[in-house]
Structure formats: C-alpha cells, structure tokens
Structure 1
C-alpha cells in the first residue's frame, strides 16, 4: 500500500480557509492520481488530525499504513515544533497500525515570493512601480524567534532581489 499524504492545516473560523485547504488537496490528487491525499485540521475545522488517523488505522485493518504528515506551514514555529509532533506522537502510540512521519514545513521558498509578486501584479502594480512601492509582508504572528527571523529574511531578500522600495 503506498503512503498516504496527510495535509495538516491549522484551521480557522473563516470558512474560506478550509475551502482553500480542500481545494489544494484536490489539486494534489489531480496531479498525483495514485497518491491518496487526506486533509486534517489542528483546530476549528473538521476532520481533525486524530479523526483522520483513526479512520486510516481502521481502514488499514491488519496492514501497516504509512502516513506522511505535511504541515501547511511556512516556518518552523510552535505548531510545527510542538502541536503537530504531539498529535502525531499520541496517534502513533494509540494506533500501532500506523507508521507516521512528519515532513518539513513549506517555507521559506522562492515559489512563495513568485506567487506574492504575481498577486501584486494582478492587483494592478507594474514592474516599473517597484522602486517607488513599499510592500508589507504580513504573516500570522509567532513568538518563536526562529519563525520571526525567517519572515524577516524573506522580506529582506525579496526587497534586495526584486528592487521594491521596501519590504517589511
């Protein structure tokens, strides 16, 4: 049985968040038809990560089910360092029919900066606007110094490479 990709998202009270995560999972399924892709949330939305893992263990029956948990996070902040490993560890101890490993976070990635620039151009900015335009790179807050440093590094590199007046 091939591994199952478990997309792990934080969750939100805003229904657009879950809709976006599910759309991403559908896109991955379309691109990789032989890959089983499941979605689980840490908070606010269903199914929760433990619910998905319980279901996978039941479906696997006597067979070991390999699960790769991919956090939809851009930095190694609290959720990637504490919350997700704790949920996965608890499930591994409770569900011996699962072999679970956590993949790395998604960022930082040059693909992110490319997507951000496309969105700015879609909003009406032109490449010629760069020298006179400041950009605010907003990220969900974290008290984790490593995560804050990653976001600051992305902003500084983006400003240097792309020539924006400022990126903060």
Structure 2
C-alpha cells in the first residue's frame, strides 16, 4: 500500500452504481461525479460499480485509502433500496471494513430515497407536456 501524501484529503466519497455492458450507461454517473468534484474540490471522489464496469467498489475504495482517506462515505446511486442495496452492498461494506481496518466507512441511503432527489424527479416529470 502506498504512503499517503501529506496534503491528501482525509475524507472520500464513493459513488456506487450498478454498472452495465454498454459504456454509455455510465455517462450520467460520471457527470454526477464530475459535478461533486467541482462543488467539493477538497473531497476525494471515486465512482465505482457493482458489475460489468470498472472500477468495482473494493478497487475504488483501495484507491481512496491509498490516497490518504480515513473516512469514506458510500452513496448508492440507485433509485431505491432493492436487493443490491439491501443484500449485496452490506456484504461489500463488511469486506471493505475488514480490508481497511483503520478506515471508517459510512453507508448512506440510496440517492433516490433522498427528498431533494425525489423533488427533482417530480419537477422534471411535471414539466413534461
């Protein structure tokens, strides 16, 4: 494992999406990551995927840890808490915690359950003819 840089951010954000075989599917998620980086320049942000795309969650987490992050928030970019969020993600979180014992990982609710996101989707839908 590499040595953290002295000015490395202590906090990181892992944006976690499902993944797909079509690389274009990731474009909106990459846009989210880019906008978060622009709004929070001191925050280390990585986008990770459950399957079909790289990096997967363990690899992205290892990159943040290698960069000096000791507190990492994990935000599922899912509209709801289906099987992947309720079953697969907790097992992945246990793996991350076991592999990086000195790091605090915090799992957040699926982004689609956040009131601001629900409001934004409703506003977009209400604008349709």
TM-score range (shorter-chain normalised) is 0.7 to 0.9
Q: Displacement of 1:2 after TM fit?
A: 4.0
Contact 1:8 1:42 in 2 (8 A): yes
Pick aligned residue for 2:50 from 15, 18, 42: 42
CA contact (8 A) 2:16 2:76 kept: yes
With normalisation by structure 1, the TM-score equals 0.64
- Structure of greater Rg: 1
Indicate conservation of the 8 Å contact 1:57/1:97, yes or no. Answer: no
Query: How many residue pairs align between the two structures?
Result: 117
In the alignment, the residues of structure 2 paired with residue 13 and residue 75 of structure 1 have an alpha-carbon distance, to the nearest angstrom, of 21
Please give the TM-score of this superposition, normalised by the length of structure 2: 0.81
Q: Report the alpha carbon displacement of residue 42 of structure 1 after superposing the two structures with TM.
A: 0.6
Larger relative contact order (C-alpha < 8 A, sep ≥ 6)? Answer: 2
Show structure 1 runs of 5+ residues with no match.
Answer: 126-168
* 1:91 is aligned to 2:99: no
In the alignment, the residues of structure 1 paired with residue 63 and residue 120 of structure 2 have an alpha-carbon distance, to the nearest angstrom, of 33
User: Which structure 2 residue ranges, 5 or more long, are not aligned?
Assistant: 1-8
